[in-house]
Every structure is written in C-alpha cells, then in structure tokens.
C-alpha cells in the first residue's frame, strides 16, 4: 500500500480521500515547519502533500529515498526544488485551476473598495471623525474596465464586471475576436485600453513581456483619475512610477494584493492614503483552500494507484510503456511550438499539428500538449504540458490535429502551423536516428537545422551580398556563429537564415541586425535544449 505524508494543514475531507483510495496517510501538519523532523521521516513515504509552509529543498529530496510524487495544494511551487525533483524522477504536481473564482472575486472586491474608499472611510469613522464630504466616491456602473489578461481569472472578472453594468475592454495577445465575443468584451490594443479605461485590473503572468507593463510611460497614457487593481503578480507594475502617479493625482487610487517583494514590509506605497493593500489574499477563501486540498489528494492517489499524471509541472502524461519511444517526439513537438510561439506577436486563432509517417501511429496527445506548451509559454510563462490545452481552450484557440501514416521524404515528420489574424506560419521537424530533433522546414522553405540554446532567425531578400554583410556585422558585434542554415523559395524571392550563435543577443544588437540592408525580420530565439 502506498504511503503519503501530509506535512501542511489540509482538510479532513482531503485526508479521507487518500484513505478511500487505498492510500495510507500520515497527517502531520506541523512537520513542514520542522526541517530536521521532515528530513528524518521523509524517507518512509511514496507521496508528499503540501501547501506553502513546507520547503522541499534539494536536501529534503536527497533524503526522500522512496518519494515518487509531490503534490502542492495551490498553484505556486516556489517552495519546491523542481530541477532536483526531476533529476530524481519525482513528479511535481500543482492544482492550477482551484483558485480562479476566489482570485477574481478579490479583484472585484478591491475595485469596489477603491471606488468608495472603504478602508480609509472605515478608519476615519472608527476615529469618530464622520468625514462624509472627504470620502466622495465614484460609481462603477457605466464605467470602462480595462482588463490586461483575459485568461481563466480575467474572464471571470469580465463576467462579474458586466453584472455590475460596466463596459469591459481587454488586452491579451492570445485573445481571439471569437473568444472576445463569447466573453462579451471588446478586444483592444494596450494603448487603446490605457486611454479609455476608468479602472484597470491585471490578470497576466509575470514574464519578460509583462514585467513593468504598467510603468511611467503607460501611466502617462491613462485617463486622469484612473484606478488600478493588481491581484495577479508583483512586478507587473513599476511601483516607483505608480507612487509618482498617485502622488501627482494622475492615478486616483490603487488596490494591490501583490508586490514586487513579498512579504511586503515598509513598501513606500503604504504611506499613501489612496492605496489599498492586502497581503496576497487572492486565493484565501475557505472554498478555494478546500478545492485545492481535495484536488491534490485525488491527483496524488491517482498517480500512486494507476500511474495517471494530472497537472504535472515536470513530466508529460505518458505511460511507462510509451515513454522511451514518445519522448524524442514530445521534445520535437515542444521545440516546434516554441519556435512558432517566439515568432508570433498577435492573437492566435488556431493551430494545426500534422503528424506524418511513423509518428502518426503513436499516442499523439502528449505531443499536442507539448506543442501547445511551447507556443503558449513565450507569452504566458506559467504554463505546463497539462495546463496548456486548457489555457488554449480558454482563449478560444482552435486546435486541429491531422495524422497521415504515409511517409514524406522523412520516416517521421511533425508540422506545426499557427494561424493568426494576419497570417499563417508553419515550422516542420523530424527526429533522426538516436533521437535527435531537427528543424527541416519553415514557412514551406526547406532547410535543415539543429536547435541550440541561442539562435538568430532572419527573413531576408534573396540578393547577392547579404550573407557577407550579415557575417561582417555579427563579427563586429562579437557574436560567434556556431552554425549557419539557409533556405529560399526560389532565386530572388523570400529567403530564410537560421543561425546558431554562442550567446543571446541584446536588444541593441538585434536592432542593428534588423536595420541591415536586405533584412525583412530579425528575431532572437531561445530554446531549452
């Protein structure tokens, strides 16, 4: 009988789920805070169920000689050393969809509290001041709510805001026009949202593309008297710029549940009267905590009893029998998706994944999940192979798969096509003997390239002298070329250059390359290979 340790507080119902599924369980909710005790006993267990208090460090994982699975009741896994767990073959799971309603409701609560200055009015009234004229509020009815991020949580916020008779405009690179219609929101560009919104609420992950998405420049484009709510991630807002906007009156108020540094102590925003702050309470309701506890118990039990993998952060949903044969194709599919995702800057309407030859006869579901993970990760960041199909569905991205067992010129081929509002772009690859994935076609142009950690992708005019100019410029920039791959439609038409380089290009270097005569597009690509 498998044995599980619950080292943080979980509901009695969750503990009973383990027992009902034939799993022996030790409920020791204080062990997570006792590092020495955890190290002493962890070697007895096949599974570990945690919240945020337990720190599953490399040292703990080294001592976990029997451990097969770690389940986090909640979404964040900052307290788990995932690389160490992966190296030891331990599955790490979370419960990414149990807190959505709770977080959305908190954002709406913060918006209403901000509109009516409720926390400050409460403090004033308790001090017997009775300052009715001081706390003149604003209605939310008929106001415009700007939604930055229209995924699972953002779509719930949109629904609740519409119930309050607000007009909702949304900026999300992955929001299709069809999905926007389904949500009842108007899809807009970021600058349009900033100019029109009376209230702005953020519901996007923190990645390079969204870091400081609300900075001084963004605030300058906003309406005078705008109110900003952030219950998503610290770092989405430049706190220094926000403080300046609040102080000079450009921003009428801000409501923040998350901060750049947490726990937030002595934050300069705390001194401002028009700021409402809460200590990362987005997921803190009885219902949400119960939901994620029950989910993690079900997930751990399923894995220990049947090998089923649900919401894994470090392992695809592949059976033990399939793994050796499928793994190279899963890696190829993720590579192709990542390639397309890094080149895509507009909303994705749909994707098409084609399997040809031997690969068409295999279980393609994990390959589809891997490809979606690859294409979504550059813009969403917090994505894994299990959550990617759900996130694609939430954004109205149509996913089409085609399998043809007849071979082309390769024994096996995967072609990944992205359909956006502007264009259709495809990238194809194959797995050579020994399991090595290769890119063999881009936008219908044949070339053969091995993926490396840092690459430079260029579309250019096929004219004499271009390769020499490019090589000379890269030499001047001190960029070493490891491999140079070329392809073209026909003489004098569109051409592609795909270069493996020894280091990542910075923005200034990439800008110089983009200005080079003959360059149509230049893009720095990064792959986890």
Q: Is 106 a catalytic residue?
A: no
Q: Is 233 a catalytic residue?
A: yes
Could you say which of 178, 186, 244, 280 is catalytic?
A: 280
- Three-state SS for 33-96 is HCHHHHHHHHHHCCEEEECCCCCECHHHHHHCCCCCEEEECCCCCCCECHHHHHHCCCEEECCC
With a CB cutoff of 8 Å and minimum separation 6, the contacts of 50 are 6, 7, 8, 32, 56, 70, 71, 72, 73, 79, 80
Q: What whole-number distance in Å separates Cα of residue 125 and Cα of residue 497?
A: 68
The count of residues in the chain is 529
Could you say which of 179, 233, 395, 415 is catalytic?
A: 233
Q: Is 24 a catalytic residue?
A: no
Could you say which of 44, 58, 139, 262 is catalytic?
A: 262
Contact 31, 11 (CB under 8 A): no
Among 508, 496, 494, 517, residue whose Cα is nearest residue 449: 496
Q: 69 — phi, psi (to 5°)? A: -150, 140
Which helix (H) or strand (E) segment holds residue 365: the answer is: helix 365-380
With a CB cutoff of 8 Å and minimum separation 6, the contacts of 343 are 425, 457, 523, 525
Rg of the chain taking only CA atoms, in angstroms: 26
Residue 76 bridge partners (DSSP): none
The residues that are catalytic are: 233, 262, 280
């Amino acid at each position: 009988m498998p044995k599980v340790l619950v080292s943080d507080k979980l509901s009695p119902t969750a503990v009973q789920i383990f027992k009902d599924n034939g799993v022996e369980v030790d409920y020791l909710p204080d062990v997570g805070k006792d590092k020495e005790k955890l190290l002493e006993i962890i070697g007895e267990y096949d599974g570990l169920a945690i919240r945020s208090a337990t720190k599953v460090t490399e040292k703990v994982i080294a001592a976990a000689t029997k451990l097969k699975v770690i389940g986090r009741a909640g979404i964040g896994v900052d307290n788990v050393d995932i690389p160490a767990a992966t190296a030891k073959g331990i599955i790490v799971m979370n419960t990414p969809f149990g807190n959505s309603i709770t977080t959305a409701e908190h954002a709406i609560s913060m918006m209403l509290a901000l509109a009516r200055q409720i926390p400050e009015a409460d403090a004033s009234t308790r001090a017997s001041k009775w300052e009715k004229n001081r706390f003149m509020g604003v209605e939310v009815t008929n106001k415009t709510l700007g939604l930055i991020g229209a995924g699972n949580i953002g779509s719930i916020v949109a629904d609740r805001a519409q119930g309050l008779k607000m007009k909702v405009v949304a900026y999300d690179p992955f929001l299709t026009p069809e999905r926007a219609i389904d949500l009842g929101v108007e899809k807009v560009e970021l600058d349009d949202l900033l100019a029109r919104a009376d209230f702005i609420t953020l519901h996007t992950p923190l990645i390079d593309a969204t870091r400081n998405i609300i900075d001084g420049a963004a605030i300058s484009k906003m309406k005078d008297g705008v109110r900003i709510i952030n219950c998503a991630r610290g770092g989405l807002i430049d706190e220094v710029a926000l403080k300046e906007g609040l102080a000079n009156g450009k921003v009428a108020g801000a409501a923040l549940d998350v901060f750049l540094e947490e726990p937030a102590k002595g934050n300069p925003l705390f001194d401002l009267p028009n700021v409402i702050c809460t200590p990362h309470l987005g997921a803190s309701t009885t219902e949400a905590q119960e939901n994620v506890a029950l989910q993690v118990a079900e997930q751990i039990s399923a894995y220990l009893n049947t090998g089923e993998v649900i919401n894994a952060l470090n392992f695809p949903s592949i059976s033990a029998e399939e793994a050796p044969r499928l793994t190279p194709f899963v890696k190829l599919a993720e590579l192709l998706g990542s390639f397309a995702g890094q080149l895509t800057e507009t909303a994705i309407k749909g994707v098409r994944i084609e399997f040809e030859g031997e690969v068409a006869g295999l279980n393609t579901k994990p390959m589809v999940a891997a490809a979606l993970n690859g294409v979504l990760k550059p813009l969403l960041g917090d994505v894994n192979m299990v959550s990617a199909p759900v996130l694609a569905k939430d954004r109205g991205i149509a996913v089409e798969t085609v399998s043809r067992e007849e071979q082309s010129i390769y024994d096996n081929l995967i072609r990944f096509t992205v359909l956006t509002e502007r264009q259709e772009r495809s990238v194809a690859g194959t797995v050579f003997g020994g399991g090595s994935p290769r890119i063999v076609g881009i936008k219908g142009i044949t070339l053969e390239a091995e993926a490396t950690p840092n690459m430079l992708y260029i579309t250019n005019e096929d004219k004499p002298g271009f390769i020499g100019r490019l090589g000379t410029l890269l030499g001047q920039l001190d960029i070493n070329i490891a491999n140079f791959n070329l392809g073209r439609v026909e003489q004098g038409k569109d051409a592609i250059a795909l270069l493996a380089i020894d280091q990542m290009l910075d923005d200034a270097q990439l800008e110089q390359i983009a200005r080079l005569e003959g360059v149509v597009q230049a893009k720095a690509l990064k792959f986890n290979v």
